[in-house]
Chain A
Amino acid sequence: MTEKPVAEMTFEEAMAALEAVVGQLERGDVALEASIALYERGAELKKHCADKLAQAEARVEMIRAQEGRAVGTTPAEGL
């Protein structure tokens, strides 16, 4: 089990960690106290993933460039 704080995980890391936690719990060879801690961690990971999935926002912007550098954006209309 990785020690990285859940809040700092990418979606993919959190998903992989959640799968690992579920697998461990399902094997049933975890001590009772540890299984409760595992469940809590799994719940936290699931929430983290759900939050990431909820952040689904379709924003499309056009880059304004000057001399090869992006200096600003304009919302893209009609795309």
Chain B
Amino acid sequence: MDIFEDTAPAPGNQPEYTVSELSGAVKRVIEGEFGLVRVRGEVGRVSRPSSGHLYFDLKDDRAVIAAVSWKGQVARMQVRPEEGMEVVATGRMTTFPGQSKYQLIVEDVAPAGAGALMAMLEKRRAALQAEGLFDPARKKPIPYLPGVIGVVTSPSGAVIRDILHRLRDRFPRHVLIWPVAVQGEKCAPEVAAAIRGFNAIEPGGPIPRPDVLIVARGGGSMEDLWGFNEEIVVRAAAASPIPLISAVGHETDTTLIDFAADLRAPTPTAAAELAVPVRLELLATNDALGARLSQALARGFQLRGQRMRDLARALPRPESLTGTARQRLDAAEGRLAGALGLMAARKRSGFEAVAGRLRPETLAGYLDRRREAVTARLARLESAVQRRTDHAHARFDKWASRLAPALARLIGDQARIAREGRQRLATLEARLDAAPRARLQVLSQRLAALDRTRQTLGHAETLKRGFAVVRADGAVVTSAAGAARAVALDIEFADGRVAAVPVKGAAPPAGRSRKSDGGGGPDQGSLF
């Protein structure tokens, strides 16, 4: 309120502000007084909603100031405020009338002293290392002679020239440059995108896929190189399937990408040296190897030739090797003719000893003996056959003489049985004829007698004797009471029927009432 006292000298006559007017006045004063300030403090709670703006607190041991960085300002920051960081924030004070708040719009944040920045870098390095991003096991070998080299760097400046120059000196190669910003806000996202972009090139496509990548930047201040400390770059380098050489800054500068790279080069020029061998040296080596190859082969032949000649000299004369054998051959040859004659003579004498005993008389005598034996056996065979035939004849004759009488007896028996059967059949036939006729006669007589009885007992005969049958509604009426209840009566006489109507009021005559069986059959009751 103090600041308004000048404009309101008379306490009893103070002007009246609206809330908005007062807030606006405060805003003007604060913005006018603190148009650009630098404030040193520790970063407190930091929040970054999806809007992209950054809200954080700056504090010391006694006070807190709310701070805001708009999205565009955040993007331009070299260093993002993180909780606990000691910073010098540059910005201007303003108010937020909606909440009766004053706050600092921060345009830039610098770590308060190099020590703080190093501490933050170390913290980040430790976190990424704990994730295993820097494991030696992840490092891939750099190909000895890459066909295509991908370079991620600024297309202008000394760095790319140095690299290309050194490559041409050593081994001219196909180089693909992915241009990026190597400092400022765009540095980290562009470098990360370039590493991923090189890896996304398919082998065999129109653009050749690099065999090795070099990420390079010249020397600079720690802030200049800061993009290569960003997590997004470190992760892209660690995840690159193509082997990656980092060459950022001078030898003494270390950025986090150096830890994630498969190989770290102290300078961009050194990166080119690590990427390719020296062509001329290789040519020389190759030629030398070729020469050694030919020499080795030639010496192999030479040595063998020499050895062959040496051995040949030590070889004995062929005649001395075959002499003994030849002598044995000659000796054997001399004995061969005599030996054959001797053997033939020995065999012949053996044969003649056997041939002397072999004469025709011997064979004839043998045949005679065999013939006699056969004749004797034949004679015995004939008599045996005769005996067996006679015996069989005798048995046959004996059975044949008994056969005729037996047959005659059998025929006689069968004829008698047939005769007796015929007689019995005739008798039975006669009896069969007579029996039903006698029975029929008896039954006819009984039927006639029964019919007569029926006629005598039937109600027709009774009617002829003067009786009548009274019916009402189809049923026989057997009592006067029944007749009196009927509407119409039907009286049957022997010669026909008459319809009648009972006279009402006439008292029914006393009498026994009997239940009728109905129908027109003879009724025992009607006889009384």
Q: Are the CB atoms of B198 and A70 closer together than 8 Å?
A: yes
For residue B250, CB closer than 8 A to chain A, the reply is no
Question: Which residues of chain B from 306 to 363 have a CB within 8 Å of any chain A CB?
Answer: none
Please judge, given known A-B contacts A26-B296, A63-B179, whether A49 and B286 are in contact too, CB under 8 Å.
Answer: yes
A45-79 near B? 1/0 per residue, CB < 8 Å: 01001101100111111110100111011001001
Q: Are the CB atoms of A65 and B285 closer together than 8 Å?
A: no
Q: Are the CB atoms of A21 and B175 closer together than 8 Å?
A: no
Q: Are the CB atoms of B289 and A19 closer together than 8 Å?
A: yes
Residues on B with C-beta less than 8 A from A60 are 164, 175, 177
Cα separation A63 to B167 with both chains bound (whole Å): 19
For residue B282, CB closer than 8 A to chain A, the reply is yes
For residue B417, CB closer than 8 A to chain A, the reply is no
Q: Are the CB atoms of A25 and B175 closer together than 8 Å?
A: no
Cα separation A11 to B283 with both chains bound (whole Å): 12
Q: Are the CB atoms of A49 and B282 closer together than 8 Å?
A: yes
Please judge, given known A-B contacts A10-B144, A11-B145, whether A25 and B283 are in contact too, CB under 8 Å.
Answer: no
Cα separation A57 to B85 with both chains bound (whole Å): 51
**Binding stretch for chain A, among B110-118, B297-305, B387-395, B501-509:** B297-305
A8 → chain B, closest Cβ, in Å? 14
Please judge, given known A-B contacts A15-B285, A49-B282, A50-B286, whether A79 and B197 are in contact too, CB under 8 Å.
Answer: no
For residue B200, CB closer than 8 A to chain A, the reply is yes
Q: Are the CB atoms of B145 and A32 closer together than 8 Å?
A: no
Residues on A with C-beta less than 8 A from B290 are 42-43, 46
Cα separation A68 to B168 with both chains bound (whole Å): 29
Q: Are the CB atoms of A10 and B177 closer together than 8 Å?
A: no
Q: Are the CB atoms of B145 and A69 closer together than 8 Å?
A: no
Q: Are the CB atoms of A61 and B176 closer together than 8 Å?
A: yes
For residue A7, CB closer than 8 A to chain B, the reply is no
Question: Which residues of chain A from 4 to 31 have a CB within 8 Å of any chain B CB?
Answer: 10-12, 15, 18-19, 21-22, 25-26, 28, 30
B189-219 near A? 1/0 per residue, CB < 8 Å: 0000110111011000011000000000000
Cα separation A30 to B293 with both chains bound (whole Å): 13
Cα separation A56 to B173 with both chains bound (whole Å): 6
Q: Are the CB atoms of A28 and B300 closer together than 8 Å?
A: yes
Q: Are the CB atoms of B178 and A25 closer together than 8 Å?
A: no
Residues on B with C-beta less than 8 A from A25 are 293, 296-297, 300
Cα separation A10 to B481 with both chains bound (whole Å): 143
Closest to B193 in A: A68
Closest to A72 in B: B207
Please judge, given known A-B contacts A53-B282, A68-B193, A70-B197, whether A61 and B175 are in contact too, CB under 8 Å.
Answer: yes
Residues on A with C-beta less than 8 A from B196 are 68
Closest to B295 in A: A26
Closest to B171 in A: A56
Residues on A with C-beta less than 8 A from B155 are 62, 76, 79
B142 → chain A, closest Cβ, in Å? 11
Q: Are the CB atoms of B175 and A10 closer together than 8 Å?
A: no
Residues on B with C-beta less than 8 A from A65 are 178, 193-194, 197
Q: Are the CB atoms of B300 and A30 closer together than 8 Å?
A: yes
Q: Are the CB atoms of A28 and B299 closer together than 8 Å?
A: yes
Jot down 6 A-B pairs with beta carbons below 8 A, ordered by A: A12-B144, A57-B172, A58-B172, A63-B177, A70-B200, A76-B155
Binding site for B on A (CB under 8 A): 10-12, 15, 18-19, 21-22, 25-26, 28, 30, 32, 35-36, 38-39, 42-43, 46, 49-50, 52-53, 56-63, 65, 68-70, 72-73, 76, 79
